[in-house]
Chain A
């Protein structure tokens, strides 16, 4: 039972990182039809920036986290301005461009990082360990899950309850009509790239609080983010978040109770099955502007 509880928390904290990614991925897709595979690199860059500030510059994890969020947000905005806005007419080109970006960002990170290609780690940001019915629950994991839930709640409120969210959803459903109604769609696309990247930066900072990372794990997380975004229906933020926590739990349970070396493959299997059975996702999603 203690082990089960511990695995639940483990699963939720991994799910939190995936959820932060999936939210950005699904929002960007919903608005532009772009499958942004380089999002995983933004996550990793966030983790490395948090590590760099925490270990090399100051000794405050919080400072590192803020720095990671802001810097990755700006990188995402720069990518939208510099590269992706030229590909919105042809999302498949945007996808290939994002594959190129993966290679560029990954190796830039290796080149610029003081640690090179090696694994980096920071001491747990919260040393305290909670005792919950015999299960030992590290404070960091509570922080990760709590922070993610708070951010996700704010995001969902903005998307589903505010007028900006309404404009965003309208643009996702029909970009041209929304533009005719006076919604500045281009600006919303920019904002979504910015917000998606801010979330990736946060995810990266939280991730390095959980476990050591190396520069090459971005691909693994982006594919999971897409798997859950697909499961939740691409362009459907709530579905993506629920699916993310589901996948995190499934992986944690699989590692504990089944064969751990296969847990990495769950996301791929789930994704391929969903694509085969319900190509537009389990919950109702959007096809994206281009697929219409």
Chain B
């Protein structure tokens, strides 16, 4: 009897304490999403499992974009190009020089980061949509270079084949689809935690300050150029890792996977899910990549048209993304529920005490 009273008090206190409530809710959501992700191999076909693995890999690149867009407020259409740099670094060094997966992974991260840092230089001089145009140009340039350039004959339009590169992760016979999926999930978890840590760090605050007001943050001693370059470098690390993993996962990469159109698609994912919420990029990537699998979506043209319309409607109606929209909806519903719950439990005799 006593136990139940104290338990009830605790629940009442938790409900009345919004901060603790928010923490509880967040933990519940993350645990639920985590369990769902881990259980995916139990109930999907092999085709969908592969798609889920691709989604996880893509989401890592989208998290890279979310770092600069969500924190520093800079949107880029060049991230498919950076992704390509990671993928081609992995593929070329694996094929031509016989490097292992573990050796090319850091190399891809480094190359992609360097390219991203170079991409940051225009961002120092040009802002807003001018920078977007420049990144669009960069993305197309990367594709043209991949199609024309390089001494790697098969690396041209036909693409590169990366056969049998997936290593045995930690000695657990990991050639099966399930194990590759779990490794990808582990990468994704690392990426999400990294984004979380970046956001919590002082540098995250610095980026947000630059996003909100460049002149003001410069006046209090924030080095704008260094902040932006560092933000891009970090972002490039994500795309580099995603690229290398992508190349080994797909076993065949070609320039048309990484054009400006794909840069737009990455931007769509980040806008769709929302760049600021922690699970936004993952939701965005999942929606964009899984919508074509829906039963009514047998005409690829309609799927593309639906994407485009979704993007337009989102920008016009829900500019902060799906996750924020869902959250607002949930909070609305919860508050409504709590209000009715409270008014039933304690009839409103004293309206003033209701706020305490």
Contact = CB atoms under 8 A, between A and B. Distances in A.
Interface of A: 35, 37, 83, 86-87, 91-93, 95-97, 99-108, 110-111, 219, 223, 226-227, 230, 261-262, 264-265, 267-269, 271-272, 275-276, 279, 290-291
Interface stretch (B137-145, B183-191, B217-225): B137-145
Given A92-B128, A100-B268, A100-B311, 5 more contacts: A97-B312, A103-B308, A275-B122, A275-B125, A276-B134
B315 A271 contact: no
B133 interface: yes
Q: Is the interface of A mostly helix, strand, loop or mixed?
A: helix
Looking at A226, A267, A279, A290, which has the most chain B CB atoms within 10 Å of its CB?
A279
B309 A100 contact: yes
Contact of A96 (B134, B307, B311): B311
Contact of A226 (B126, B133, B299, B319): B133
Interface string B243-274: 00000000000000000110010011001000
Given A103-B304, A111-B302, A261-B148, A96 B315 contact: yes
Interface string B135-156: 0111011001101100000000
Interface residues of B, number: 41
A165 B25 CA distance: 59
B316 interface: yes
Nearest to A99: B264
Contacts of B49: none
Nearest to B263: A99
Nearest to A112: B301
A42 to B, nearest CB: 15
Interface in B286-314: 299, 301-302, 304-305, 307-312
A276 B305 contact: no
A17 B129 CA distance: 24
Contacts of A103: 264, 304-305, 307-308, 311
B129 A92 contact: yes
A3 B132 CA distance: 38
Contacts of A95: 129, 132
Contacts of A265: 140-141, 144-145
B128 A291 contact: yes
A275 B132 contact: no
Contact of A276 (B122, B148, B304, B310): B122
B6 to A, nearest CB: 52
Given A108-B305, A264-B144, A265-B141, A96 B267 contact: yes
B130 interface: yes
Nearest to B135: A272
Contact of B132 (A35, A87, A104): A35
B196 interface: no
A219 B133 CA distance: 12
Contact of A271 (B121, B128, B129, B133): B133
Interface in B133-183: 133-134, 136-138, 140-141, 144-145, 147-148
A103 B312 CA distance: 10
Contacts of B264: 99, 102-103
Contacts of A226: 133
